Structures are given as structure tokens and as C-alpha cells.
């Protein structure tokens, strides 16, 4: 069975929007595009490079696809695996693309992702894709979150966990802090939430 792994850069107040550059996603008037740049260091870089070198297929939304499709085919030297990976795109508006191999998912995305998880193949890595993320979280389809948590708040913007979050428990499988204060933490699903009383 394949795992769905969400790989996100996130602010302390949960924002994931436009972390990569000023023009990445200014929707909603978001004015802080490129907010991770001041925190780049070798520790974060080495973790990102390790994640990029793993076997994977992509599971992303249409807006992320629109940003990535013109870019990555021209920059395969940076991330060769992204061009050879199968790209599963959640979209009700596009059905074909030059960037291959690509498979478009529409309609009941949750059911299709559940079916993908049950097929043989590499894990499904999710980057960006705020709307798709909410669907995956709502239907309990995320097996792991690999987060880089940055020491700043942004106040507004698309968030990793919105109103559709379900109660769920996680185990921390890896953690470290970069020299510039980025908390790198991997979380894997660990069943239901348990409660009790502190004596």
C-alpha cells in the first residue's frame, strides 16, 4: 500500500501559501510570497535534497501543477525525479498536459486517492496544493506530514490545517532544529486521539 505524504513549509500560524517566491501565489492579497528565503541554511537544504531524492509519485492540485509544469521540465538538473515521476493532478478543468507522465483526477478525488493508495508503486508526495490538502485531511487519507516549521507568523493566507481537520494522533519519527530556527519534524499517523487525566 502506498502512503500519502504531505511535505510542507509552514509558518507558526499554519500558513503554507507562496513560500517559494513573491509571484508564486498572491491570491487573496497575500503579500509575503517567498517568506522562507531568509531561513535557508544547510540543514534545511540537506533535508529537502534527501526528500527530493526518494522514490515518489506526485499528488498535487491544479494550481500547483500550473506553477510547476512550465518550470521543472527546464530545471531537471535540480530535481531529476520530478520529471520522471507520475504526476497525479486533481483538477476539474484540465485533462491534458505536455509535462508527462501525468494522470488527471476529477470528480470524487477522495475515492480516487484511496484507490491509488491501494495500488503498487512509490509513495505519493503532496506539495503545496492547499485545496487538495483539505480534501485529503478531511477524508483521513494522509499517512504522514513532513513539516518545516518557520519562526514567524503571517496573519493570513492559505493554511495547512483549515476547518476540515479531523481528530487524529501522530508519532514524531524525526525532528531537528536548523541553525536559523526552522523546526524540521516528521509525523506519522498513529490511530485515534487518546484522552486521560493527569494525576
Residue 105's contacts (CB-CB under 8 Å, 6 or more residues apart) are: 88, 89, 90, 91, 112, 113
11-15, 91-95, 149-153: which has the minimum mean pLDDT? 91-95
**Residue 108 in this model has a pLDDT that exceeds 90:** yes
Q: What is the CATH number of the domain that holds 49?
A: 3.40.430.10
Find the mean pLDDT for residues 6-21. Answer: 95
Find the mean pLDDT for residues 99-121. Answer: 95
**Strand, helix or coil for residue 177:** strand
**Residue 166 in this model has a pLDDT that exceeds 90:** no
Domain count, the chain: 1
199 falls within a domain: no
Report the chain's terminal Cα–Cα distance, integer Å: 40
Percent of the chain with pLDDT over 70: 100
> If you ran DSSP here, which 8-state letter would residue 3 be given?
P
178 falls within a domain: yes
Residues 175-184: pLDDT tens digits?
Answer: 999 999 999 9
26 falls within a domain: yes
**Residue 164 in this model has a pLDDT that exceeds 80:** no
Identify the pLDDT of residue 51.
96
Q: How far apart are CA 24 and CA 10, in angstroms?
A: 15
72 and 99 Cβ atoms separated by less than 8 Å: yes
Range of the domain at 22: 4-189
197 falls within a domain: no
Q: What is the pTM of this model?
A: 0.94
Q: Can you point out the beta strands (E) in the chain?
A: 4-11, 57-61, 87-90, 102-105, 124-127, 144-150, 170-177, 183-189
Residues 53-94: pLDDT tens digits?
Answer: 999 999 999 999 999 999 999 998 999 999 999 999 999 898
Q: How far apart are CA 174 and CA 178, in angstroms?
A: 13
Q: Are strands 183-189 and 144-150 parallel, antiparallel or unpaired?
A: antiparallel
179 and 39 Cβ atoms separated by less than 8 Å: no
Amino acid at each position: 500500500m502506498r502512503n500519502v505524504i504531505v511535505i510542507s513549509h509552514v509558518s507558526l500560524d499554519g500558513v503554507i501559501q507562496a513560500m517559494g517566491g513573491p509571484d508564486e501565489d498572491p491570491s487573496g492579497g497575500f503579500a509575503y510570497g517567498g517568506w522562507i528565503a531568509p531561513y535557508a541554511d544547510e540543514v534545511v537544504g540537506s533535508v529537502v535534497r534527501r526528500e527530493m531524492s526518494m522514490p515518489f509519485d506526485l499528488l498535487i492540485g491544479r494550481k500547483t501543477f500550473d506553477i510547476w509544469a512550465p518550470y521543472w521540465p527546464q530545471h531537471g538538473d535540480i530535481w531529476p525525479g520530478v520529471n520522471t515521476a507520475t504526476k497525479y493532478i486533481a483538477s476539474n478543468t484540465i485533462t491534458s498536459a505536455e509535462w508527462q507522465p501525468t494522470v488527471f483526477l476529477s470528480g470524487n478525488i477522495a475515492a480516487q486517492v484511496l484507490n491509488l493508495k491501494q495500488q503498487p508503486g512509490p509513495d505519493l508526495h503532496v506539495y503545496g496544493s492547499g485545496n487538495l490538502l483539505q480534501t485529503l485531511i478531511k477524508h483521513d487519507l494522509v499517512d504522514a506530514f513532513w513539516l518545516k516549521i518557520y519562526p514567524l507568523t503571517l496573519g493570513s493566507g492559505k493554511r495547512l490545517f483549515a476547518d476540515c481537520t479531523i481528530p487524529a494522533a501522530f508519532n514524531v519519527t524525526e525532528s531537528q532544529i536548523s541553525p536559523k530556527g526552522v523546526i524540521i519534524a516528521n509525523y506519522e499517523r498513529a490511530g485515534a486521539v487518546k484522552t486521560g487525566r493527569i494525576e
